[in-house]
Amino acid sequence: GTGIKWYTTSTGGTALASTTALTNGTYYASQTANGCESASRVQITVTITATPAPTASNQTFCEIANATVANLTATGTGIKWYTTSTGGTALASTTALTNGTYYASQTANGCESASRASITVTIYQTPKGFNDTKTLDCAGSFSYNLQTANVDNTANGGNAVPASFTWTINSNSNVTGAASGSGNTINQTLINTSNTAQTITYTVTPKATVAGGCTGNPFTVTVSVPVCSSISITKVADVTTVNQAGNTINYTITVANTGNASQTNVVVSDALLGGTLSNPVKTGNADNILEKGETWTYSGSYNVTQADLNNNGKPVNNSGKITNTASVQTTELPTAKTAIADVNITLSPAITLVKTGTLNLNGNTINYLFTVKNTGNVTLNNLVVTDSKVTGPIILGATTLAPGASTTATATYTISAAEKASGSVSNTATVTGKNPLNGNVTDISGTTATNDTPTVTPTGVYAVDDAGTLNAVSGGVAVANVLVNDKLNGNQATLTNVTITQISTSHPNVSIDPATGEVKVLPNTPVGDYTLVYQIEDKANPGNVKQATVTVHLVSGAILAANDNGTANSVTGGTAVANVLTNDTYNGGAQASLTNVTITNGTNDSNGKVTLDPATGAVSVATNTPAGVYTLTYTITDKLDASKTSTATVKVTVASGAILAKDDAGSANSVSGGTAVANVLANDNYNGTTTAPTLADVTIT
């Protein structure tokens, strides 16, 4: 019918809900058509037949199976599964299973069993990994722990279930070292032998090592194996330092294929060794392909230049080293790889100065020769020689010297008197210059390049002026030996090593004896200073001569004029002093005579009555000289030394004899007067005689 409704009564009542459980008994059905429910109801009898529960046992599943109710098994028909022993709603077949108890009913003949079978469902853990990728370097070492790096990595999809693993690989002939295997860790070395990137894929199957031993879904580890196109270049020199032009540096350049890919069109260049290098010594095969593990060794040499030393570096000045760079490039690696070998430069700037002196024959000057040599390993510039003995500039032949080169200069020095006396001139010169680094180089001169010994130049003969004093009267030897103060090279000049020559004399009485060196003066040579020039000559070095002057001082002894006294009769006059020289001395005590002195009159108070005759030395008194004491002076002069004089006084006493007046008697007329005595002088005595004086002789008072 249509619009069926069920009731528990034939009439009335309330229609049963469709969910109402049936029980044994009578049920009534109505239908509704066109909106009208039938008044009558059809009666049916319901008999509930008990259906037994199905049979089932406990069941286990791996987590990876994602088991659902559909995967549960029970023996029976029309199996339905519940999570409760009674009631509830049957589970859909797609319901995912979990650990727990499930209940199964069966339906037979349209009747679902009232009882349900109980089972326990156990879901075992299944290891779960994730697809991973790795990229290797050229070493190719691949170590991957499948448990810790993958399954335990829950952040990336692992579930941390302990497991064991097996793996397989994809086939790739360009990669060596990959292999299938088992274990927790993949430890393999993968080498890409091609020139393109390669991959190896490990397909890993995990299997739980906990209860259930579930095998998980395979996961992959994909490894990128790069193109390992790599070469190395090394360069070594067989020396660490160089120090002179012409040193040879031998270089060894080694190129190795340190990658996996072969290298073609290998070009090794080295500018210092001439550009592109060839003919290497090869390991491996002899083809022109640098294969994995092969090495090619090149060699070459470089000769150090003076410019390298002067610049203190190549190619970089003042770097202190010769830097050599080699490079290699291939078709596969067009960007050049380089290697550098440095060889240190040892700079040893050095210079020597040798000074020699040659005495000129005139004995007054020395010619110096300065020899400068570059004994170092770099070129020296701005060379200057200075010498305290040389006042002007010393001009070198060259002011720039390459190593080993020499130059010279000369200068003349005038010897001082002190140096002539000492017998030698000793001193040093100094050379200075600049090295290429603008540093100073210097040396003090020596007699050889290996010492700084002062240059000593003997000064030859040295004649020193002499002087002697001698008595002009007696003459003799004024200088015993003129050589006593003369020198030869600072040593005593003797007649053994020099000869003496008289050059001139200012008086013929003064001369030198070349055989003895004596300067002699003849007797009675006038007093004065005389000069004699002599010359000495080095017997071993003829032409080396020197002159000196001997000054001879001729003197005489003291001259002394002694006072004289004399008397004379005033009437008769005469010689009062026979010779005034009788008591005079000459030449320090010898008798003065008209031979050796001259007499010169001085003062005289006699008015010509008393005179001294210079030709005889006699003092005379004229007749009828009035009595009295008369004084005159005279001077005697040394005939050999006019500057030597002495003056004396001569006193002359002039007196007459006794005078006697005798008594007279006379007479005369007293008236007429007259002469009583004709001359009272007639009986008088005069001048000690009986002769009567006259009025010319006496006066009468």
Q: What is the pLDDT of residues 347-399, one digit of tens each?
A: 999 999 999 999 998 889 999 999 999 999 999 999 999 999 998 999 999 99
The per-residue pLDDT for 16 is 93
Residue by residue, DSSP assigns 34-84 as TTEE-SS-EEEEE--PPPPPPB---EEEEGGG--BGGG---BSSS-EEESS
Same domain, 219 and 245: no
8 A C-beta contact, residue 300 and residue 324 = no
Question: Residue 674 pLDDT more than 90?
Answer: no
Same domain, 277 and 368: no
DSSP designation for 91: P
490-530: pLDDT as tens digits: 999 999 999 999 999 999 999 999 999 999 999 999 999 99
Number of domains in the chain: 8
590 located within any domain: yes
| Strand (E) or helix (H) holding 586 | strand 585-586
Helix (H, G, I), strand (E, B) or coil at 524: coil
161 located within any domain: yes
Measured CA angle at 317 (ends 313, 321), to 5 deg:
25
Measured CA angle at 260 (ends 256, 263), to 5 deg:
55
Q: Going along 160-318, which residue ranges are E strands? A: 163-169, 175-176, 181-182, 185-189, 191-192, 198-208, 219-225, 231-237, 241-242, 248-257, 267-270, 275-276, 281-282, 295-303
How many helices and strands (H and E) does the chain possess?
A: 2, 56
Structural domain span for residue 680? 659-701
N-terminal to C-terminal alpha carbon distance within the chain: 250
Same domain, 650 and 671: no
Q: Point out the least confidently predicted range of 172-176, 221-225, 266-270, 685-689.
A: 685-689
The per-residue pLDDT for 488 is 94
Distance CA 93, CA 87 (A): 18
94 located within any domain: yes
Nearest to 619 by CA among 583, 585, 663: 583
**Residue type (1 letter), 333:** L
Question: Residue 139 pLDDT more than 90?
Answer: no
DSSP designation for 682: G
29-82: pLDDT as tens digits: 999 999 898 989 999 998 877 889 999 999 999 999 999 999 999 999 999 999
Site of tokens 């005139």: 362
Region 3-17 average pLDDT = 92
The per-residue pLDDT for 689 is 74
Taking phi over 0 as left and psi of -120 to 50 as alpha, with beta for the rest, 118 belongs to beta
Helix, strand, coil fractions of the chain, as percent rounded to 5: 5, 45, 50
Same domain, 434 and 476: no
**Residue type (1 letter), 434:** K
Instruction: Grade residue 669 by pLDDT with cuts at 50, 70 and 90.
Output: confident
219-258: pLDDT as tens digits: 999 999 998 888 999 999 999 999 999 999 999 999 999 8
54 located within any domain: no
The per-residue pLDDT for 580 is 95
8 A C-beta contact, residue 458 and residue 490 = yes
The per-residue pLDDT for 663 is 80
440-460: pLDDT as tens digits: 999 999 999 999 999 999 999
Domain-ending residue, one of 345, 375, 400: 345
253 located within any domain: yes
Per cent of the chain over pLDDT 70 is 99
Q: Residue 190 contacts by C-beta under 8 Å, 6 or more apart in sequence?
A: 136, 140, 142, 175, 176, 177, 178, 200, 223, 225
Domain-ending residue, one of 192, 225, 258: 225
Same domain, 533 and 604: no
52 located within any domain: no
The per-residue pLDDT for 47 is 80
Question: Residue 658 pLDDT more than 80?
Answer: no
Radius of gyration of the chain (CA): 80
Domain-ending residue, one of 307, 329, 345: 345
Region 277-297 average pLDDT = 92
Q: Residue 298 contacts by C-beta under 8 Å, 6 or more apart in sequence?
A: 252, 253, 254, 255, 268, 270, 277, 278, 279, 280, 326
Mean pLDDT (the chain, rounded): 93
The per-residue pLDDT for 360 is 92
Question: Residue 596 pLDDT more than 80?
Answer: yes
Cα distances (angstroms) measured from residue 67 to each of 102, 209, 387: 13, 21, 116
The per-residue pLDDT for 23 is 87
Same domain, 429 and 330: no
Same domain, 278 and 323: yes
The per-residue pLDDT for 692 is 76
Q: Residue 199 contacts by C-beta under 8 Å, 6 or more apart in sequence?
A: 170, 172, 222, 223, 224, 225
Provide the CATH number for the domain around residue 620. Answer: 2.60.40.60
Instruction: Grade residue 110 by pLDDT with cuts at 50, 70 and 90.
Output: confident
Predicted model pTM: 0.53
327 located within any domain: yes
Same domain, 430 and 393: yes
Provide the CATH number for the domain around residue 241. Answer: 2.60.40.10
Same domain, 361 and 451: yes
Distance CA 255, CA 244 (A): 31
Region 550-566 average pLDDT = 94
The per-residue pLDDT for 318 is 93
The per-residue pLDDT for 583 is 96
Region 540-549 average pLDDT = 94
Same domain, 242 and 303: yes
Question: Residue 316 pLDDT more than 80?
Answer: yes
Helix (H, G, I), strand (E, B) or coil at 92: coil
Question: Residue 269 pLDDT more than 90?
Answer: yes
Q: Residue 279 contacts by C-beta under 8 Å, 6 or more apart in sequence?
A: 298
185 located within any domain: yes
The per-residue pLDDT for 307 is 95
Provide the CATH number for the domain around residue 411. Answer: 2.60.40
Per cent of the chain over pLDDT 90 is 83
Same domain, 321 and 384: no
334 upstream amide cis, omega within 30 of 0: no
**Residue type (1 letter), 143:** S
Distance CA 582, CA 590 (A): 11
Question: Residue 208 pLDDT more than 90?
Answer: yes
Same domain, 585 and 537: no
> Please, which residues bridge with residue 529 across strands?
553
